Amino acid sequence: MIMDKQGWTALHKAAIKGHAELCEVLITDAKCSIDIRDNWGSSPLHVAVVYGNAGVARALVEASANIEAKQK
């Protein structure tokens, strides 16, 4: 899994930018880890919610993302 200095993956970045279709591709075709956490304990689902990207959040929940609160 490729991550930047913050621990963000391509899935985190797509979730932040609101790219629901890209998230779906990363989850289904690239088989990205859906619940991977960044350096602050945030999953792609968490950052999608924080940035107000409901379409991405919906896609992640439908793909069985863990809906538990952010880890500390």
What's the pLDDT at 35?
93
Q: Is 13 helix (H, G, I), strand (E, B) or coil?
A: helix
Residues, the chain, total? 72
Nearest in space to 55 (alpha carbons), one of 24, 33, 30: 24
What's the pLDDT at 5?
95
Q: How confident is the model at residue 30 (pLDDT cuts 50, 70, 90)?
A: confident
What's the pLDDT at 60?
94
Q: Is the pLDDT of residue 72 over 70?
A: no
What's the pLDDT at 46?
95
Q: Which residue has the higher pLDDT, 46 or 68?
A: 46
pTM listed for this prediction: 0.88
CB–CB of 48/38 below 8 Å?
no
Pick the CATH number of 10-62 from 3.30.590.10, 2.60.120.10, 3.20.20.70, 1.25.40.20: 1.25.40.20
Question: What letter represents residue 36's amino acid?
Answer: I
